[in-house]
């Protein structure tokens, strides 16, 4: 069974990336199969752009559909 990639993660570690990642903050995941194979995760960080980070810096979270839609609307992303 293929693992479902999370849509959102929470930052739990930001060593060497304090300017780009805030602890305990929710980040949107951008799908990247190659990164996943290298134990990396692509997220939209504080710059507003997507970058790769070590996957152990994050914990996947499952949001209620209403919360996910509200976050996407606030970010200007259509679902």
Number of compact structural domains in the chain: 1
pTM: 0.83
31 belongs to a structural domain: yes
Which CATH number is 43's domain given?
Answer: 2.30.30
Confidence of residue 74 (pLDDT cuts 50, 70, 90): confident
Instruction: Give the start-end residues of each E strand in 1-77.
Output: 8-11, 26-30, 40-44, 50-54, 58-61
pLDDT at 1: 35
Residues 22/11, Cβ–Cβ less than 8 Å: yes
Mean pLDDT of 75-79: 65
13 or 68, greater pLDDT: 13
Residue-number span of the structural domain to which 34 is assigned: 8-75
What is the distance in angstroms between the CA of the first residue and the CA of the last residue of the chain? 25
């Amino acid at each position: 069974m293929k693992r479902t990639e999370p849509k959102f993660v929470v930052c739990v570690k930001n060593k060497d990336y304090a300017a780009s990642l805030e602890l305990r903050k929710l980040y949107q995941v951008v799908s990247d199969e190659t990164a996943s194979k290298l134990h990396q995760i692509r997220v939209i960080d504080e710059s507003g752009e997507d970058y790769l980070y070590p996957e152990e810096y994050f914990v996947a979270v499952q949001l209620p559909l209403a919360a996910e839609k509200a976050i996407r609307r606030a970010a200007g992303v259509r679902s």
